[in-house]
C-alpha cells in the first residue's frame, strides 16, 4: 500500500480548482490525471519575454508583454479567426487573433476600452501587427514588467499555456518536502537541490541541476526496482531443467545454426540447469533467428518433463509462431497448442484440459495463456517474444504462474543502445545474436520525395507483376489515432483503384477476425500488397514480400524504421525499401534517412538514433523516445543512468529489505514513480 504521506500527490486532478469535465479530456491526453503528474509536467523550454512600453519598441518575432486597449471586436467571417483590434499607448494597432472556441473567452477577456497586459509573440499579418493566441491576458499591471522568463509546457488541444501554468502552480503548492533518498555524498558533489525545491525550480527557469536531480530520481527508482526484482528472483526456487537431448536430436532444421545461435542456446541451457529461475534477455536484430533459439529452449524443458509457454504480443504473431514451430518440431513428437483470446467454448476447454493434464507440452499464445482460468500441470519455462511490448509489471505476473517460479526468456528485436539496455532490462542476463544467418542480401534502401508517389505506385505494379509482394506502411503520428487510421484507409482506397482486390488493409482498429483474414490472404500470397499501420512492425514473416514503401519516413525513429524494414529481406531474393519523405526536412531528419540508406546494423542505428535525438532535434518536443522514462531525457539517461544504477546496487547490497532510513525514503521514491512492484516483491519474497 502506498504510504499515506504520498496520498496528496496522488489525489485526482479534479481536486485542482478549475478542472471540470471540459478539461479532463485534454489533461488526460497529456497524462495529467493526478497532482503528481502536474508537478512532473516539466516545461519543454522557457521564453524570455521583454516588457515594452509600446509596439514601436518591439520587433516582429519577439516575445513581448505590452499594455493594449481593445478598440474593436471583429467577428470571424466564415473560416477566419476572431480578431480584437487593440491599441498601444501611441495608437499603434495590433490584431489579437483567435481561432475556434478560444474566441468565446477572448471576447470576455478583452472588453473594448479596458486596458490589458497582453503577452505573446508579435507577428506580422499583411500590413498589420498581430498576435495569434496570446499566451497571457491579464488586468494586473506592474507585475508584468521587466525581463520575464516563462515556461512553455507541452499542450494538447483545448489547453492554453496560461491554463496549464496555473494548474501546475496549484499542484506545486500541495507538494510537501520528502526525506532524501539520494546518497548525501552524491547530492553534495552534484550540488543538487532537495526534491521539492528541484520541482519548484524546474518550473521557474533553466535550472539544469534541478532537472538533473529530477531525472536522476526517476532513473534511481527504475534501477532500484529492477534490482529488487533480481534480488527476489535469486531467492526464488525454480525447477532445474536438464534435457537429455531426446527431442532436440529429432529436430530437423533446414539450416545449420549460426555461431551466435549456438552460443545463446548454450547460455540458456546453462541457466536452466540451475535452481534459481533464469531471467535472460535474448537480444537479436530482426531476422537474426530468435525463434529457433526459443524452440530449443522449450524443447529442453519438455525433455526434462515440464511444460513451456511462448507469449506473443499479438494474435497475428502468435498464430505465425504456432505454424512455424509446429512445422519445425514436427518430428520431435512434442504436442504444441495455440491459445488466444478468441478461442472460446469446446476448443478452448480442450486446450485448458491439455495444459492441466500435461498432454500439451508447449502452448503459444497471447496474454490469454496467463489468465487465471488457465492452469498448468508443470509450467517451467516462459518465453516472451518482443519483450519491449510488455511492461515490467506484466512480466512479473507471468513468473508467478507456476507452483515454482518458471524460468523466463525474454526476446527482443529492438536493438537498444547499451545504456538503455541497462535501464530497461537491468535485472536480466543478456544473450546477443550478433550474427545474421548467412545468405541475406542487403536491402536496397532509397529515399524518395513524396511528390514522386506516382512513380512509386508504378514500381509496385511492376514488382507484383513478377509474382512478388509488397508492404505499404502508413505512419501513426497524429495526435488522434483515429486520424491515422483514416489516413491509412484513404491511402488504401486510393491504391485499391489501381490494384483492385490484390490489396488488403490491416490496422489496429479492425476486428481481429478481419485483421487475421487480411494477414492470412497476404501470407498465403493471395494478396500482393499489404497496406498497414505500424502493426506489422513486429514479427510478420512473409519471405516473398520484398518491397516496402514507408510513408512519411522522416516521422519515424531510426529504430522503428529499422524494425519495419526488417520485414523485407527475409528470403534470398533482392529486397528494396523506399522511404517516402516530405518536403521540409530538418537537418537531423535528413541525416537519419541517410543513415538508413547507409547501414543495416541495428545496434549502430540505435546508437546513432540516441546521438541524434539526444542532441535535441526540435525545441519543444519530448525526447525520451522509446524509453520507459517520462522525466529523464535521452541525454540525461546517458549521463546519469550509470550513476543511478551503481547507487541503487549499493543500496540493495547494504539494505536489501529497504528497512533503514534511506531505505524508507527509497520506498517513497518507488511509489512516487510507480515502480512500487519493487516494494511488493520485498513483502512477497
Ligand atoms: P527473428 O529474430 O526476427 O525472430 P526469425 O526467428 O523469424 O527471426 O528468423 C528469421 C528467418 O531466418 C526465418 O525464416 C528463419 O527460418 C531463418 N533462420 C533462422 N536461423 C537461421 C540460420 N541459422 N540459417 C538460415 N536461416 C535461418
Ligand atoms: Mg521474431
Please check whether the two domains, 46-152 and 444-599, share a CATH topology. Answer: no
Ligand nearest 286 Cα, by number? Answer: 1
Taking the model in full, what pTM does it have? Answer: 0.68
pLDDT at 147 over 80: no
Q: Is 284's C-beta closer than 6 angstroms to any atom of ligand 1? A: yes
- Whose alpha carbon is nearest atom 14 of ligand 1? 570
Nearest atom, ligand 1, residue 284 CA: 2
Specify the higher pLDDT residue, 90 or 156.
90
257 CB within 6 A, ligand 1: yes
At residue 529 the predicted structure's pLDDT band, cuts being 50, 70 and 90, is: very high
CB crowding 409-436: b at 16 or more within 10 Å, else e = bbbbbbbbbebbbbbbbbbbebbbbbbb
Q: What pLDDT digit, counting tens, does each position of 636-656 carry?
A: 888 898 899 999 999 999 998
Q: Which ligand is nearest to the CA of 291?
A: 1
CA distance 43 to 48: 13
Dist CA 362 CA 318 (whole Å):
13
Tens of pLDDT, residue by residue over 202-222, are 999 889 999 999 999 999 998
**Whether the CB of 233 sits within 6 Å of ligand 1:** no
Index of the ligand 1 atom closest to the CA of residue 439:
25
Average pLDDT of the chain, as a whole number: 86
Tell me if 313 CB under 6 Å of ligand 1: no
CATH top-level class of 46-152: mainly beta
| Segment 342-364, tens digit of pLDDT | 888 999 999 999 999 999 999 99
* DSSP 8-state symbol, 34: B
Closest-CA residue to 110 (of 75, 142, 143, 85) = 85
Most ligand 1 atoms within 8 A of CB, residue of 257, 258, 263, 289 to mutate: 289
**Torsion over CA of 6, 10, 11 and 13, rounded to 10 degrees?**
150
Centroid of ligand 2 to alpha carbon of 607 (angstroms) = 22
Environment class of residue 54 by beta-carbon count within 10 Å: exposed (0-12), middle (13-18) or buried (19+)? middle
Decide whether any atom of ligand 1 lies within 6 Å of the 291 Cβ. yes
Q: For residues 186 and 291, what is the distance between their CA atoms, to the nearest angstrom?
A: 44
Instruction: Calculate mean pLDDT across residues 32-41.
Output: 95
Kindly give the distance from the C-alpha atom of residue 606 to the centroid of ligand 1, in angstroms, as a whole number: 21
**Separation CA 26–CA 581 (nearest Å):** 30
Q: What percent of the chain has pLDDT over 70?
A: 89
Q: What is the pLDDT of residue 603?
A: 77
CB of 292 within 6 A of ligand 1: the answer is yes
3-class DSSP state of 674:
coil
294 C-alpha to center of ligand 2: Å?
A: 10
154 pLDDT more than 90: no
600 close to ligand 1 (CB < 6 Angstrom): no
**Across 397-418, average pLDDT:** 73
- CB of 437 closer than 6 A to ligand 1? yes
Give the separation between CA 53 and CA 553, rounded to whole angstroms: 47
Spans of all domains in the chain: 46-152, 248-433, 444-599
Indicate whether 392 pLDDT > 90. no
Closest residue (by CA) to atom 25 of ligand 1? 437
Over residues 529-556, mean pLDDT = 82
pLDDT of residue 570: 77
> Rounded to an integer, what distance in angstroms lies between the CA atom of residue 168 and that of residue 265?
52
Residue 18 confidence (pLDDT): 83
DSSP code per residue over 120-169: EE-EEETTEEEEES-SEEES--GGG-SEEEEEE----TT--HHHHHHHHH
Q: Which ligand 1 atom minimizes the distance to the CA of 257?
A: 23
pLDDT classification of 130: cutoffs 50, 70, 90 = very high
Q: Is 287 in the pocket of ligand 1 (CB under 6 A)?
A: yes
Closest-lying ligand 1 atom to the alpha carbon of residue 385: 4
The closest residue, in CA terms, to atom 26 on ligand 1 is: 437
DSSP letter string, 404-448: SPPEEEEEE-----HHHHHHHHTTSEEEEE-SPPTTPPPEEEEEE
- Does residue 671 register a pLDDT over 90? yes
Mean pLDDT for the stretch of residues 144-170: 80
Pocket test for ligand 1, best of 281, 287, 433, 564 (most atoms within 8 A of CB): 287
What distance in angstroms lies between residue 257's CA and the mean position of ligand 2's atoms? 16
Max CA pair span of the chain? 94
pLDDT at 557 over 90: no
pLDDT of residue 617: 37
pLDDT at 156: 74
- Residue owning the nearest CA to atom 27 of ligand 1: 437
Q: Is the dihedral of CA 165, 170, 173, 174 positive or negative?
A: negative
Ligand 1 and 614: CB distance under 6 A: no
Grid coordinates given for 353: 484440459
For the Cβ of 290 lying below 6 angstroms from any atom of ligand 1, the answer is: yes
What atom in ligand 1 is closest to the CA of residue 286?
Answer: 3
Cβ–ligand 1 distance for 222 under 6 Å, the answer: no
Residue 467 vs residues 100, 298, 310, 528, 544: alpha-carbon distances, Å: 51, 37, 34, 8, 9
Torsional sign, CA 440, 444, 450, 454: negative
Q: Distance, CA 242 to ligand 2 centroid (Å)?
A: 25
The alpha carbon of 290 and the centre of ligand 2 are apart by a number of angstroms equal to 6
What grid cell was written down for 194?
532537495
- Ligand in nearest proximity to the CA of 570: 1
255 Cα to the center of ligand 1, angstroms: 9
Q: How many A from CA of 287 to the centre of ligand 1?
A: 5
Cell of 537: 512492425
Looking at the domain covering 248-433, what would its CATH class be?
alpha beta
C-alpha span between 129 and 123 (Å, rounded): 6
What are all long-range contacts of 126-131, with beta carbons under 8 Å and residues at least 24 apart?
A: 128/93, 128/94, 128/95, 129/55, 129/60, 129/92, 129/93, 129/94, 129/95, 130/83, 130/94, 130/95, 130/96, 130/97, 131/94, 131/95, 131/96, 131/97
Q: Is the pLDDT of residue 559 over 60?
A: yes
In short, whether 413's Cβ falls inside 6 Å of ligand 1 is yes
> Rounded to the nearest 5 degrees, what angle is found at the Cα of 586, between the Cα atoms of 585 and 591?
95
* Weakest-pLDDT range from 135-144, 309-318, 519-528: 135-144
CA of 571 to the centre of ligand 1 (A): 10
Alpha carbon of 602 to ligand 2 centroid (Å): 15
Task: Output the CA 286–ligand 1 centroid distance in Å.
Answer: 9
Task: Give just the sign of the alpha carbon dihedral 640, 646, 652, 654.
Answer: negative
- Shortest-distance atom of ligand 1 to CA 324: 16
**Banded model confidence at residue 228, pLDDT cuts 50, 70, 90:** confident
pLDDT tens digits, 455-504: 999 999 999 999 999 999 998 655 456 667 778 888 999 999 999 999 99
How far apart are the C-alpha atoms of 181 and 177, rounded to whole Å? 12
* Separation of CA 291 and ligand 1 centre (Å): 7
Query: Is any ligand 1 atom within 6 A of the Cβ of residue 312?
Result: no
Q: What number of CA atoms fall less than 13 Å from residue 666's CA on the CB side?
A: 31
Q: What distance in angstroms lies between residue 628's CA and the mean position of ligand 1's atoms?
A: 29
In a mutational test of the pocket of ligand 1, which residue from 387, 437, 536 has the highest number of ligand atoms less than 8 Å from its CB? 437
Asked whether 609 and 591 are in contact (CB, 8 A), the reply is: no
Which residues, in sequence order, are CB contacts of 408 under 8 Å at separation 6+? 277, 278, 279, 280, 381, 382, 383, 384, 395, 398, 399
Q: Topology of domain 444-599, per CATH?
A: Rossmann fold (3.40.50)
What pLDDT score was predicted for residue 125? Answer: 85
In this predicted structure, which of 237-241, 267-271, 453-457, 528-532 has the lowest mean pLDDT? 237-241
306 C-alpha to center of ligand 2: Å? Answer: 24
- Is the shortest distance between the CB of 255 and ligand 1 below 6 Å? yes
Amino acid at each position: 500500500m502506498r504510504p499515506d504521506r504520498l496520498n496528496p500527490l496522488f489525489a485526482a486532478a479534479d481536486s485542482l480548482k478549475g478542472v471540470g469535465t471540459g478539461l479532463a479530456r485534454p489533461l488526460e491526453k497529456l497524462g495529467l490525471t493526478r497532482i503528481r503528474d502536474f508537478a512532473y509536467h516539466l516545461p519543454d523550454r522557457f521564453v524570455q519575454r521583454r516588457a515594452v512600453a509600446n509596439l514601436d519598441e518591439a520587433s516582429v518575432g519577439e516575445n513581448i508583454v505590452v499594455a493594449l486597449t481593445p478598440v474593436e471586436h471583429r467577428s470571424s467571417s466564415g473560416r477566419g479567426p476572431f480578431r480584437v483590434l487593440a491599441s498601444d499607448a501611441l495608437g499603434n494597432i495590433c490584431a489579437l487573433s483567435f481561432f475556434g472556441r478560444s474566441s468565446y473567452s477572448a471576447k470576455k477577456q478583452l472588453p473594448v476600452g479596458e486596458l490589458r497586459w497582453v503577452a505573446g509573440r508579435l507577428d506580422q499579418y499583411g500590413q498589420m501587427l498581430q498576435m495569434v493566441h496570446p499566451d497571457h491576458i491579464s488586468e494586473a499591471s506592474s507585475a508584468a514588467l521587466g525581463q520575464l522568463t516563462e515556461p512553455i509546457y507541452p499542450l494538447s488541444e483545448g489547453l492554453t499555456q496560461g491554463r496549464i501554468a496555473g494548474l501546475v502552480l496549484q499542484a506545486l503548492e500541495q507538494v510537501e518536502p520528502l526525506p532524501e533518498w539520494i546518497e548525501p555524498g552524491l547530492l553534495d558533489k552534484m550540488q543538487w537541490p532537495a526534491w521539492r525545491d528541484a520541482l519548484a525550480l524546474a518550473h521557474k527557469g533553466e535550472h539544469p541541476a534541478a532537472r538533473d536531480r529530477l531525472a536522476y530520481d526517476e532513473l534511481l527508482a527504475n534501477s532500484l526496482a529492477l534490482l529488487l526484482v533480481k534480488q527476489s528472483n535469486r531467492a526464488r526456487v525454480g525447477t532445474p531443467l536438464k534435457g537429455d537431448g531426446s527431442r532436440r536430436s529429432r529436430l530437423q532444421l533446414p539450416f545449420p545454426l549460426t555461431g551466435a545461435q549456438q552460443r545463446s542456446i548454450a547460455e540458456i541451457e546453462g541457466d536452466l540447469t540451475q535452481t534459481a529461475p533464469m531471467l535472460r534477455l535474448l537480444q537479436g536484430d530482426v531476422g537474426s533467428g530468435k525463434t529457433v533459439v526459443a524452440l530449443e529452449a522449450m524443447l529442453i524443458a519438455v525433455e526434462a518433463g515440464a511444460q513451456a509457454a511462448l507469449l506473443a504480443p499479438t494474435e497475428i504473431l502468435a498464430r505465425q509462431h504456432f505454424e512455424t514451430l509446429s512445422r519445425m518440431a514436427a518430428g520431435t513428437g512434442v504436442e504444441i497448442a495455440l491459445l488466444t483470446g478468441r478461442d472460446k467454448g469446446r476448443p478452448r476447454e480442450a486446450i485448458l484440459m491439455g495444459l492441466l493434464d500435461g498432454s500439451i507440452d508447449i502452448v503459444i499464445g497471447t496474454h490469454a495463456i496467463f489468465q487465471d482460468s488457465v492452469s498448468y500441470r508443470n509450467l517451467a519455462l516462459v518465453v516472451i517474444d518482443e519483450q519491449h511490448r510488455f511492461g515490467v509489471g506484466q512480466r512479473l505476473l507471468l513468473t508467478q504462474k507456476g507452483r515454482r517460479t518458471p524460468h523466463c526468456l525474454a526476446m527482443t528485436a529492438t536493438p537498444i543502445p547499451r545504456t538503455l539496455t541497462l535501464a530497461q532490462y537491468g535485472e536480466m542476463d543478456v544473450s546477443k545474436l550478433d550474427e545474421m544467418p548467412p545468405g541475406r542480401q542487403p536491402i536496397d534502401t532509397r529515399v524518395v520525395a513524396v511528390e514522386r508517389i506516382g512513380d512509386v505506385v508504378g514500381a509496385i505494379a511492376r514488382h507484383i507483376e513478377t509474382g512478388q509482394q509488397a508492404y505499404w506502411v502508413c505512419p501513426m503520428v497524429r495526435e488522434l489515432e483515429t486520424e491515422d487510421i483514416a489516413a491509412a484507409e484513404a491511402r488504401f482506397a486510393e491504391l485499391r483503384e489501381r490494384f483492385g482486390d490484390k490489396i488488403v488493409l490491416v490496422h489496429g482498429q479492425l476486428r481481429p477476425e478481419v485483421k487475421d483474414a487480411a494477414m492470412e490472404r497476404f501470407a498465403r500470397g493471395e494478396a500482393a500488397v499489404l497496406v498497414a499501420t505500424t502493426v506489422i512492425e513486429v514479427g510478420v514473416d512473409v519471405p516473398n514480400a520484398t518491397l516496402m514503401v514507408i510513408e512519411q519516413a522522416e516521422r519515424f525513429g531510426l529504430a522503428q524504421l529499422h524494425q519495419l524494414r526488417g520485414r523485407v529481406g527475409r528470403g534470398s531474393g533482392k529486397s528494396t525499401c523506399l522511404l517516402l519523405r516530405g518536403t521540409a526536412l530538418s537537418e537531423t531528419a535528413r541525416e537519419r534517412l541517410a543513415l538508413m540508406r547507409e547501414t543495416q546494423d541495428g545496434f549502430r542505428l540505435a546508437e546513432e538514433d540516441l546521438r541524434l535525438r539526444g542532441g535535441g532535434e526540435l525545441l519543444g518536443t519530448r525526447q525520451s523516445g522509446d524509453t520507459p522514462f517520462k522525466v529523464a531525457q535521452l541525454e540525461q539517461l546517458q549521463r546519469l543512468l550509470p550513476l543511478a544504477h551503481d547507487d541503487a546496487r549499493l543500496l540493495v547490497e547494504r539494505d536489501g529489505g529497504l528497512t533503514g532510513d534511506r531505505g524508507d525514503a527509497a520506498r517513497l521514491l518507488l511509489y512516487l514513480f510507480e515502480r512500487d512492484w519493487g516494494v511488493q516483491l520485498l513483502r512477497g519474497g
